[in-house]
Structure 1
């Protein structure tokens, strides 16, 4: 579908909508609304969507990105936690793009386990900064139909998700994202295209689904080992994993059996190495529901 001049929201309509609804963007919900149509279309082009592709969007807000996705011919199901915004967005879509294929689900994205309609094959979203990593990992875990992801997050978080082993910023988000997908940083987004203007820079991170490592360990077991390895970054794996294996010598033996140097640190290992360690441990899952929540607490950038 070609660009439609009046299909997207501009700064004036964003403010008019927010004023009429009594919406004041809150840090609690991580709300920053994109008001620049050019940026929205750039994000949609970067997503590389197919006509008619089923897309899930988390946190559509007032509908800026939603309209861009629909303009490009996507079929969109949006998950919105704010009841006022969820109640208004269907009317916004109908006003700008009558007949577009759109549904909204009123829910916290961390609670969603099923979505209406065809399973989504792409996730495209401007994620709330305070829960970006937990939401990303939750969606990847619960919706294995997702083939691709393009999400806008805090620039620092984008770098961490896409970081490679050995990097100073490689950590829990990097390893857990790598369990599901290949990740890379995409476009940088100016803070000036948001209302209100955030105090941090934003960036797009793209992910392409791939099979997880072949391992006898469960994902929960691997993620528990990852959490322990990065709990204190300066510790060697021998020391960091002694709590799981019962003692330093036991941890050392397990690491050697997994073909991992006991004196190494977590930031040097890829996800496959963590899976080998988890096979040696074989413990029960302690990472919580879906193994994703404790990895990065809301409002933090872990690892």
Structure 2
């Protein structure tokens, strides 16, 4: 442990890796290549940052905690220009278009905002080469849930539209300090071509959100309560071949793309 490391704060949802060996192992699983550019979300005390800097890579770390930024800035001064520090909230950060599509994302995500960061990643998918995130195990299961799984949710489809997910490693509470009350997982998101779809992307997201807005209802009733007319939905189902009693978690991403093409855009 290096000196003058700040204490994790609950208000920032900080649970840091417990030791350097774990950070090194996680970075090794990412297979860093010479010249890679990593955007680290939540540099924290710098444990993952230091593990990354053991390789011939560039690292930009974004951190909201002023105390941690001071620690990271000290690390940057001795990094021979390999490390840049941004003091700010990642959810308000727009990476420059020139960053990608070779930008590699990594982060031990603050668990309280893990889902919003996943949505942020989806928003910036065009500049992402891949992403490696530490998240709560329930978020990991949701991201990876296939069509038909009871764990499939809105986040499954939003992420699955642009990325393939894989669980790299499961970790217990003892891997962090302070110890969280839940288990965690280190997951990889690998970009893939989104489904061909003639509908606007915003409309696609509106359809997906409407589909999962009322989880206890059938897909038809959830879409009805989200603003579409029953006859519009039934025609779309008939065209695509969706069962009238289907639920949102049963659909594959490509079926949501077809549904977005068949349903009209809602007038706000």
Counterpart among 210, 219, 235 of residue 228 in structure 1? 210
The Cα of 1:262 is off from its aligned counterpart by: 2.2
1:110 aligns with 2:98: no
SS class of match (2:262)? helix
Flag the 1:238–1:222 CA change in 2: closer, same or farther, 3 A. Answer: same
Q: Which runs of 5+ in 1 are unaligned?
A: 1-9, 19-23, 287-303
- 1:216 alignment counterpart: 198
Asked if residue 205 in structure 1 is aligned to residue 187 in structure 2, the reply is yes
- Match of residue 178 from structure 2: 196
- Match in the other structure for 2:236: 254
Alignment match, 1:17: 5
Q: TM-score, normalised by structure 1?
A: 0.82
List per-residue Cα deviations over 1:154-211 (Å, max 9, x = no partner). 0111111111111111111111111111112110123212111111111111111011
1:279 aligns with 2:261: yes
Separation in 2, partners of 1:276, 1:285: 20
Judged with a 3 Å threshold, the aligned counterparts in structure 2 of structure 1 residues 230 and 143 are, in CA distance, closer, same or farther, namely: closer
Note if 1:41 corresponds to 2:24. Answer: yes
Instruction: Rate the CA distance shift 1:196–1:178 in 2: closer, same or farther, 3 A.
Output: same
Other-structure match for 2:165: 183
CA offset at residue 258 of structure 1?
2.8
Runs of 4+ in 1 over 6 A off after TM superposition: none
Aligned to 2:65: 82
Match of 1:51 in 2: 34
Counterpart Cα distance in 1 of 2:267 and 2:170: 37
Structure 2 length as normaliser, TM-score? 0.92
- The SS at the match of 1:61 is coil
Q: Is the 8 A contact 2:232 2:263 kept in 1?
A: no
Identify which of 29, 49, 72 aligns with 2:55: 72
Q: Deviation of residue 68 (structure 1)? A: 0.7
* Alpha-carbon distance change, 128 to 200 in structure 1, aligned in 2, over 3 angstroms: same
Structure 2 residue runs of 5 or longer lacking an equivalent are none
Cα distance, 1:263 vs structure 2: 1.3
Kept in 2: contact 1:245–1:281 (CA 8 A): no
The answer (yes or no) to whether the contact 2:217–2:247 under 8 Å persists in 1 is: yes
Q: State the alpha-carbon separation in 1 of the partners of residues 215 and 224 from structure 2.
A: 14
CA RMSD in angstroms, aligned pairs only: 2.1
* Aligned-partner Cα distance in 1 for 2:35–2:251: 39
